[in-house]
A and B are shown apart, each in its own frame.
Chain A
Amino acid sequence: MAAKSERGRLTPYLLTLPGVLWLTAFFVVPMVTMFSVSFQEGNIYEGYRFTGHWQTYTDTLGSYSEQFLRSLWYGLIVTAAVLLITFPMSYWIALKGGKRKNLFLLMILLPFFTPFIIRTLSWKLILGDEGIFLGTLKNIGILPDSYQVLATPTAVIAGLIYNFLPFMALPLYVALEKLDPALLEAAQDLYSNKRETFMNVTLPLALPGVFAGSLLTFIPVAGDFINAELLGGVNTTMIGNVIQREILVNLDYPEGAAISFLLMAGILLGVFLYARALGTEELMG
């Protein structure tokens, strides 16, 4: 009996062991390594040595503040935009979708059966200066020949919105699907019109979905570089492009690592403030 209860006590830890090992090997170790790299000095030919040189942080923050701010700004715009686009969509599927809910969800996910790069590249074709869209409008004289969308913030933001839409749509759907329609009737029964019902009942109950969707959108968008790379120009460089260039082109690992940690700190701060603003009690409730 004693041995059995001993094993019973250990069971929860044994069950979490694979996860702990996984996270240690692929999250904790790389994080610690990268963090130590960010305090190294040297160059690719002579190698990098740990010197505790923290100035890389302040230096990069100074030189890339524009890209930092742009990334956070794009992250905000894209998150807000996909929230506005997907909320009505998810609401409709969850409450009015009936038997075809799964079909509609599949339709949202269908484009994601093609790779990220291919999808982004096809936007390059759509938005190209002489592409099917702009080319046609230019041919019939609605737009001037010099008009372009590619290489502008509009193109990058449009690409990001398109690519990250499902990350907002699905958590919102999950939250709204749990919404009991009787609650909406109860609110109307208690003198709330449609707008008040939405503000007082639907929205508060959808908040966990809004929060989860915002995180799933904002974090990868702020760190994205593919959209800026393929659809943007010199004025749309995001911090992801800088990290990619430092690590893969310039091979300046300490600088790449430092920027990555700065980005992470910025995102953590943003998430913290956002959770505070939405109210943690509602999110946990």
Chain B
Amino acid sequence: MPDIRLEGLTKEFKEMVAVDHIDLTIEEGEFFSLLGPSGCGKTTTLRMIGGFEDPTEGHIYLGGSEVTGLPPYKRNVNTVFQSYALFPHLNVHDNVAYGLKRKKVAGDEIKSRVHEMLDIVDLPGYEQRRINQLSGGQQQRVALARALVNRPALLLLDEPLGALDLKLRKTMQLELKRIQGDVGITFVYVTHDQEEAMTMSNRIAVMNAGHFEQVGAPQDVYELPATEFVSGFLGASNLLEGEIESVNGPTAKVALELGATVALPADRLPTRQGRIGIGVRPEKIHIQDASAADASSRANAIEAMVRMSTYTGVSTSYECRTSDGSPVVVYVQNLGSSSVSIGAGTRVRLSWDPEHTFAVKRVAKAEDDGDKTATAMEGART
């Protein structure tokens, strides 16, 4: 049963379209993330689901019935706000009990449910604490408990971990995932952190400029980005420009601008002909000295020159340039003795499997320098 359905949802502000005709279905019990850079419309989408913004166009269905236009207090949805928005004049118990009191739940039941919920978020015995006595992480848990205690059909989370330091954020990511599993409530999670989205979600919608670039499981979105934006936003990726040469059954061949021809599964092509971008993730590339190339080389191969190699402990990253000046980044795991570093200035052979090759539509862009045939984009790693 679909828990939430958005149909042609649109929000226009004075001079801009924040959310542009999006359609989405989220299943019951899913941990769903809206991922995108700031200003992409993800928070506006969440606020429309919560009832804090009225859509300009489109419909919102919750558990089969339409809630478009209903005020927040008439929706079976609760929100964990970015700033937590805990009531400073109430203690922890009264904050968590707030929604239950409004719903006229009996006093004894309120007490036991608050108690139980504080156990779940790992704050047992904190009932009488004042909000300003809590740390950021504890406030975050209280905000979560305050929303979850109402047993909503859907929980909305607006970058709830944004204010926490990195270590606490990592812990809370796993905590949130555990709690979601425990309570079994559908979570819709807004974040600009791709790692966070991938860690926690069943599915991710990558948003850009008010529309969905791609919706899918974390692996799918990462391994097979559908657009140039997604390939750049989730992790680092290398994009090389090329033209479709032939499609032969399940395999397609693409002639790269820089000379080589690469193969990839035909169903990954966004079009059947013309110019496209060919992508490969840095960790999928096999790097070896060009003069010592051997049988370990993969089917798709190009030549390049190492410009810089950086040792980062767990891996070594190589920044290379192809013959036409396109940058290509390669990550190699440091597996001990076999990992002999390749120095700057070495001519190398970069190769990867057709299976690890993806294709995206070329977006026409202003070309004002020679560096037009490929792009290497560093993902938004925050």
Interface residues of A, Cβ cutoff 8 Å to B: 180, 182-183, 185-193, 196, 200-201, 204-205, 282, 285
Check if B71 is an interface residue, CB within 8 A of chain A. yes
B87 x A182 contact (CB < 8 A)? no
Check if B167 is an interface residue, CB within 8 A of chain A. no
Q: Which residues of chain B are near A188, meaning CB under 8 Å?
A: 51-52, 71-73
7 A-B pairs in the complex with CB atoms less than 8 angstroms apart: A182-B82, A185-B79, A188-B71, A189-B77, A191-B150, A193-B71, A196-B102
Q: Which residues of chain B are near A180, meaning CB under 8 Å?
A: 83, 85
Q: In the assembly, what is the distance between CA of A73 and CA of B26, in Å?
A: 62
B88 x A186 contact (CB < 8 A)? no
B78 x A285 contact (CB < 8 A)? no
User: If the complex has contacts A185-B52, A204-B89, A282-B89, are A191 and B103 also in contact, measured as CB distance less than 8 A?
Assistant: yes
Q: In the assembly, what is the distance between CA of A133 and CA of B81, in Å?
A: 53
Q: Which residues of chain A are near B52, meaning CB under 8 Å?
A: 185, 188-189
Closest residue of chain B to A204 (Cβ to Cβ) is B89
Q: In the assembly, what is the distance between CA of A180 and CA of B77, in Å?
A: 21
Q: In the assembly, what is the distance between CA of A204 and CA of B94, in Å?
A: 14
Q: In the assembly, what is the distance between CA of A271 and CA of B370, in Å?
A: 78
B71 x A205 contact (CB < 8 A)? no
Check if B50 is an interface residue, CB within 8 A of chain A. yes
Check if B141 is an interface residue, CB within 8 A of chain A. no
B50 x A189 contact (CB < 8 A)? yes
**Nearest Cβ on chain B to A198's Cβ, whole angstroms:** 13
Supply 9 further A-B pairs (C-beta < 8 A) apart from A190-B73, A190-B99: A182-B81, A185-B79, A186-B85, A188-B73, A189-B50, A190-B150, A191-B73, A200-B98, A282-B89
B89 x A185 contact (CB < 8 A)? no
User: If the complex has contacts A189-B72, A190-B98, A191-B99, are A201 and B78 also in contact, measured as CB distance less than 8 A?
Assistant: no
Number of A-B contacts (CB under 8 A): 59
Q: How many residues of B contact A (CB 8 A)?
A: 25
Which 6 A-B pairs give the minimum distances between C-beta atoms? A190-B99, A182-B85, A186-B85, A191-B102, A188-B72, A191-B73
Q: In the assembly, what is the distance between CA of A190 and CA of B79, in Å?
A: 9
Q: Which of B299-356 contact A (CB under 8 A)?
A: none
User: If the complex has contacts A192-B73, A204-B89, A285-B88, are A187 and B81 also in contact, measured as CB distance less than 8 A?
Assistant: no
User: If the complex has contacts A182-B81, A185-B72, are A190 and B102 also in contact, measured as CB distance less than 8 A?
Assistant: yes
Closest residue of chain A to B102 (Cβ to Cβ) is A191
Check if B275 is an interface residue, CB within 8 A of chain A. no
A205 x B72 contact (CB < 8 A)? no
Check if B281 is an interface residue, CB within 8 A of chain A. no
Check if B146 is an interface residue, CB within 8 A of chain A. yes
Q: Which of A185, A192, A204, A205 contacts B102 (CB 8 A)?
A: A192
Q: In the assembly, what is the distance between CA of A113 and CA of B99, in Å?
A: 48
B79 x A189 contact (CB < 8 A)? yes
A183 x B102 contact (CB < 8 A)? no
Q: Which residues of chain B are near A193, meaning CB under 8 Å?
A: 71, 73
Q: Which residues of chain A are near B85, meaning CB under 8 Å?
A: 180, 182-183, 185-186
B146 x A205 contact (CB < 8 A)? no
Q: Which residues of chain A are near B83, meaning CB under 8 Å?
A: 180, 182
Q: Which residues of chain A are near B150, meaning CB under 8 Å?
A: 190-191
User: If the complex has contacts A180-B83, A205-B88, A205-B89, are A187 and B71 also in contact, measured as CB distance less than 8 A?
Assistant: no
**Nearest Cβ on chain A to B163's Cβ, whole angstroms:** 13
Closest residue of chain A to B90 (Cβ to Cβ) is A204
A190 x B146 contact (CB < 8 A)? yes
Closest residue of chain B to A179 (Cβ to Cβ) is B88
Q: Which residues of chain B are near A183, meaning CB under 8 Å?
A: 85, 87
Most buried by A among B71, B82, B87: B87
Q: In the assembly, what is the distance between CA of A180 and CA of B82, in Å?
A: 12
B98 x A187 contact (CB < 8 A)? yes
Q: Which residues of chain B are near A285, meaning CB under 8 Å?
A: 88-89, 130
Q: In the assembly, what is the distance between CA of A204 and CA of B99, in Å?
A: 17
Q: Give a binary string over B92-103; 1 marks a CB under 8 Å from any A CB, 0 the rest.
A: 000000110011
Q: Which of B78, B86, B89 contacts A189 (CB 8 A)?
A: B78
Q: Which residues of chain A are near B86, meaning CB under 8 Å?
A: 186
Q: Which of B139-163 contact A (CB under 8 A)?
A: 146-147, 150
Q: In the assembly, what is the distance between CA of A188 and CA of B52, in Å?
A: 9
